[in-house]
A and B are shown apart, each in its own frame.
Chain A
Amino acid sequence: MLKADSLKLPETIDGWTLSGPPQKITRETIFDYIDGGGELYLAYKFNQLMVWKYQSEKDSENEIVVEVYEMQNPQETFGLLSLDWTGEPVALKPEPETPPESPVSPTFTALYGDGLLRARVDNLYLRILASRETPIIKETILNLGKIIATEGSHSTLPDILAVLKSKVGSSWQIKKERTSYFHSYLILNSLYYLSHENILHLGPDCEAIYTEWENKKTGNKKSVRMIIIKYPSHQAASQALDEFKPAYVPEKAAAEVKPSSPEVEKALPLEDGWAGWKLDGNFLTLVFEAPDESAVEELFSLGSLK
């Protein structure tokens, strides 16, 4: 794994000069650095952050801030980038290093927009931001990204993405740009709100995907939402489902006559469409806002182990 505090950035680049030594931010000081935002990085297994600041030699008011977040593994940096797949995809390394296309998710490693570069380099997540953007400053930002990207090896995707399928012949098409990877319910809530509390028992020992589907045949643009969670064990997944049902569908939980043999697969109508859950080993798949029961069932087949 790469170490953010081992990186060496140039003293000067394209008429910009480092304003001092890098600032080191730890798990203990992340809230001082991003008040109200440290949770985001802690939710992606944050180790440390290094911050460099460059001042323009021509424009003293302009600054480029280089933030390099060191996470525990490359999946985490994929997760951070996957929270927003919009922006201009840019290559920080030669083409052969770009990972092959995935049918269920973008595989970009770097995205640029309006003076902000977001990128993943193995277990490092980069945010390079200029206070004012010009085409020349954009080049400098990309050059800084390329210097850091030379440290990386080939990019990988989280294994859990393999659970999602894009079936030939299915009327359901995944919205790849909505596929996100995460562990925490805070992240889920920022993607798709279910409850202010952790009713799915999400946490660092879980891996989860959120994505959306649309129906190509009906042309209905309304997205169906899917959450897939891999728990550390079947027991943990089962307990999470047991917690979810009374919290989210209390009327259904109250009506269950045989709590000792709970339904592991179910579709039911709610206020915003059909919802469903499917427990399969240590995987729990949830579907929301589907048009009907058969859609829930078909989507389960597109988001499961089998």
Chain B
Amino acid sequence: MARILLVEDNEMNRDMLSRRLQRRGHEMLLAVNGQEGVDICLAELPDLILLDMSLPVKDGWQVAAELKANPKTALLPIIALTAHAMADDRQRALDAGCDDYDTKPVELPRLLEKIEFNLQAAANK
């Protein structure tokens, strides 16, 4: 299974999502703010990044832009997690370089599908 970095500032959401993904066989890396997300990503080079967009220190849009600008991390698939089901947020996430998005609260089967799809797509790049 994959190594997934989850960048999420809300403790409860982080705990919940990481545990649910762990029990489906994924290895989870956790970051609690945008800067930490970038740092861990550069150090660990995970297979995929789940990125909350409203983050302290550095928001998700900045993180995505930064990672996509760095050749080391440019190919890592990023799935944006946007809080509202707002078309605006989604478009902004995609514009910032995210490969896909999902809305919170997470519907696990749907997210798993997106993870699977984006891992496949990255492997074929």
Whether chains A and B associate is no
Q: Which A residues form the contact surface with B (CB < 8 A)? A: none
